[in-house]
Amino acid sequence: MVFIEEKHSYLSSLANQPKQAALVALVTDEVFQLPQGSFSEPDTIYYSSIQAIKKNSKESFESQYAKISKRKVSENSVAPFIHDDFLIFTLVIGVLKFECDKEWLLGVIRNRARGKVTTSFENLLIGNYLSKANNQSMVLVFLFLLDKSKITNDQLNEAYNTMSDTKESFNSDFIRIVYYRAFDIVIQFKLPRDADEVSRLLEFEGRFKKRINIFSIVVYNLFIIGILCGAYKAFQLLPEDKKLFVNDLNLILGLGAVIGLSGNFIPKLKTKFQEMILRAFGYQNTK
């Protein structure tokens, strides 16, 4: 409860902080509206890029990316936009979402001061999601936005474990917002998915065993018919003088009765037959 209250209090405090509020809108399902006012060019590009991503407008994003990518970046540059985590994260998402050329952005990231956030930006851009050097919250939020299929249970567990280190998680507004969103994803994505998956597996197991039971009955009866047909053909091959000692109809009925009774009144035989079918399909637990 304390965590939830802290999160709610913090997010509520962002109402008058358009840059932070815009990032919240980007990483969640919140509706985003361009803030009113006069902003620097990098901030204007930041807001417009978020709007383009939210509206899934490749053309609009490319227009903003073309503006920012005209800037030359040199080694040890102190240009504010280079060290703007909000802007760089947004650009990384947009560049990969809309398949833009990433060489300029990669150059920008490699000229930033090195640290976990910068390392994570670079790894996200080149597709290295599993590096232990990544900020796991950033990776989780990024994948949830662009490709949920790449999120694994191991990543969710790793993100949750690293998010327990609040000193690292709350060292900036950017990281704090990403942290809160990543925590929501762990709750909303991992736990319900696991529960649903287990439920589906149990449901499938029930259907599977019922179908195998029907299948085993059909196969068993075909097995009996095969024996009867074989016995009948074998009987027909007997010399005529041997046929006089038996009545083919009585013989077939007698064999059928014996085999049928063995299946219907000896449950262990039918159970073993079904177990053989289950094992043939790779199902080991036949309890």
Alpha carbons 20 and 27: distance in angstroms, whole number: 11
Kindly report whether the global pTM for this prediction surpasses the value 0.85. no
Alpha carbons 201 and 103: distance in angstroms, whole number: 45
Q: Give the model confidence (pLDDT) of 78-137 as tens digits.
A: 788 999 999 999 999 999 999 999 999 999 999 998 899 999 999 999 999 989 899 999
Give me the sign of the Cα torsion angle 203, 209, 211, 212.
Answer: positive
Selection from 125, 56, 132, 52 nearest residue 89 by Cα: 125
HSE value, Cβ hemisphere, 13 Å, CA-based, for 116 = 16
- Give 191 or 94, the one with higher predicted confidence: 94
What pLDDT does residue 119 have?
Answer: 96
| pLDDT over 50 at 195, yes or no | no
Structure tokens at 251: 């013989």
Yes or no: say if 153 and 174 are a contact pair by the CB < 8 Å rule. Answer: no
SS3 of 6-57: HHHHHHHHHHHCHHHHHHHHHHCCCCCCCCCCCCCHHHHHHHHHHHHHHCCC
What pLDDT does residue 152 have?
Answer: 80
Q: Which residues contact 37 (CB under 8 A, 6 or more apart)?
A: 18
Q: Which residues contact 77 (CB under 8 A, 6 or more apart)?
A: 111
| pLDDT over 80 at 191, yes or no | no
Structure tokens at 170: 């709350």
Alpha carbons 182 and 163: distance in angstroms, whole number: 9
Kind and range of the H or E element at 208? helix 191-236
What pLDDT does residue 60 have?
Answer: 96
Residue 17: alpha-carbon gap to chain centroid:
33
Residue 81: alpha-carbon gap to chain centroid:
34
Q: Give the model confidence (pLDDT) of 212-268 as tens digits.
A: 778 777 777 777 787 778 766 776 676 766 555 555 555 555 655 555 555 554 556
Kind and range of the H or E element at 52? helix 41-54
Yes or no: say if 26 and 53 are a contact pair by the CB < 8 Å rule. Answer: yes
Residue 21: alpha-carbon gap to chain centroid:
28
What pLDDT does residue 235 have?
Answer: 63
Alpha carbons 159 and 137: distance in angstroms, whole number: 6
